[in-house]
Amino acid sequence: MAADIRTVSAREKGSLRITGIGAIVTWNSGSGSMEILRDRDILIGADKILGIGRFEDKDAELSFDAGGRILTAGLIDPHTHPVFAETREQEFEMRIRGLSYLEIAAAGGGIRNSVRKLRQMSEDELFERSLKRVRRFVDYGSTTIEAKSGYGLSVEDELKSLRVIRRLNEELELDLVPTFMGAHEIPDEYRDQRDAYVDLVCSEMIPAVAEQGLAEYCDVFAEPSVFLRDETEKIFRAAQDRGLKLRVHADEFESIGVTELAVSMGASSADHLLAVTDSGIEALKRGSTTATLLPGTAFFLGHSHYAPARRLWDEGISVALASDFNPGSSMTQNLQLIMTLACTQMKLTPMEALQAVTVNAARALDRSHLIGSVEPGMQADLLLWDVDDIRQIAYWYGMNHVYAVFKKGKLIHRA
Ligand SMILES: [Zn+2]
């Protein structure tokens, strides 16, 4: 067992000891499964977990009494669009009155609406507005989020969005993993010359993003009404040539074989997958790409169809869950609610849903060696939950059960 009792020498005196933990619920990389540990403390040294076991006062400089609460790894949200200028509640109401997401997009709403607003806003204003929103992820237990650009869609405005993500990462305790998503939509001025826009993404945006070190990943919205399979492949090749890793919006409305493409190119994650085909599932089984599912989006758009999470899970594919936080199709930052939707609409168990927003989400961001489980050597990103049973996080729904958030060994939020 990796999360075993470990003694600590005086040389390794901890900075913090968490005692009085009701249960630790975590992935165990030794056994390859989730487990529940009782009667253990956690010893933290600087930003890492030093040990899990029984420790005394003298083993650490400070102690924190968990009061019998349940402890897990910090939640990880591997798919968000948090840098935008304005919310879009008017489109929310249009959908309630009967227009579809794609109809609103075709009429110039949707992503293109957000693009027009973001282009008019200064970088400082965009930063201030995004900051107010993004810091709330921590209140709901997220300690790392992926963050995409994609409401700029010009060289200048995509770089502006990514610089805002970098500033948010510097300003907040929350870690943001930056993704360039210039291929989120075709902007207004390129509607009749999509090839020229794909060229702009490949030969100007990607080189500039890579040279300035502004993103770790490149993402494409692959869909018949947005970017086609060959366009996606071209953008992916340009991104890989410049050292960016890949993730993709695939099979959300209609499959065009992009899940298969993403797996064959070694993408870290294929996201949405409501319309994933048998051949897409076969590809995911053979490859190492995580399937990141976003049930909040189907819920918020009022759809009754969800991604086939149960089947993907039972086929042995690594399934993660994310909020897809964005002003058009999923306006939530609460992964606890996403866990509930995964349970009720996609038939994952509460424990599987927890695994999907911790260790599997870490895998979707290529960080499972660092975050996503409570084991010695891992970063001390930890949550204490005000629940009696771990299943209550998903069961007692629409609530915020987070009691305390530790990031890199430091208490950064308390209810
Ligand atoms: Zn998205």
pLDDT digits (tens, 9 = 90+) for 83-127: 999 999 999 999 899 988 788 888 778 888 899 999 999 999 999
Residue 11 has what pLDDT? 56
- How close is the Cα of 249 to the center of ligand 1, in Å? 6
In the 8-state DSSP scheme, what is residue 306?
-
**Cα(148) to centroid of ligand 1, in Å?**
8
Q: Is the pLDDT of residue 1 over 60?
A: no
> What's the pLDDT tens digit per position in 148-185?
999 999 999 999 999 999 999 999 999 999 999 999 99
Give bridge partners of residue 272 from the DSSP assignment.
250
What distance in angstroms lies between residue 12's CA and the mean position of ligand 1's atoms?
43
CA of 252 to the centre of ligand 1 (A): 10
For the stretch 28-72, pLDDT in tens is: 999 999 999 999 999 999 999 999 999 999 999 999 999 999 999
Distance 382 CA to ligand 1 centre (A): 26
Determine the length of the chain. Answer: 415
User: Could you read off the pLDDT of 307-365 as tens digits, one per residue?
Assistant: 999 999 999 999 999 999 999 999 999 999 999 999 999 999 999 999 999 999 999 99
Write down the pTM of the prediction. Answer: 0.96
Measured CA to CA, the distance from residue 180 to residue 190 in angstroms comes to 19
Q: Note the pLDDT tens digit of each residue in 201-239.
A: 999 999 999 999 999 999 999 999 899 999 999 999 999
* CA 166 to ligand 1 centroid distance, Å: 19
The band of 139, judged by pLDDT with boundaries at 50, 70 and 90, is very high
Residue 279 binned pLDDT confidence (cut-offs 50, 70, 90): very high
Residue 384 amino acid letter: L
CA 235 / ligand 1 centre spacing (Å): 17
As a whole number of angstroms, the distance between CA 64 and CA 78 comes to 29
CA separation for the pair 182, 324 (Å, rounded): 17
Distance 54 CA to ligand 1 centre (A): 43
Distance 81 CA to ligand 1 centre (A): 6
Cβ atoms of 179 and 215 closer than 8 Å: yes
* CA 207 / ligand 1 centre spacing (Å): 23
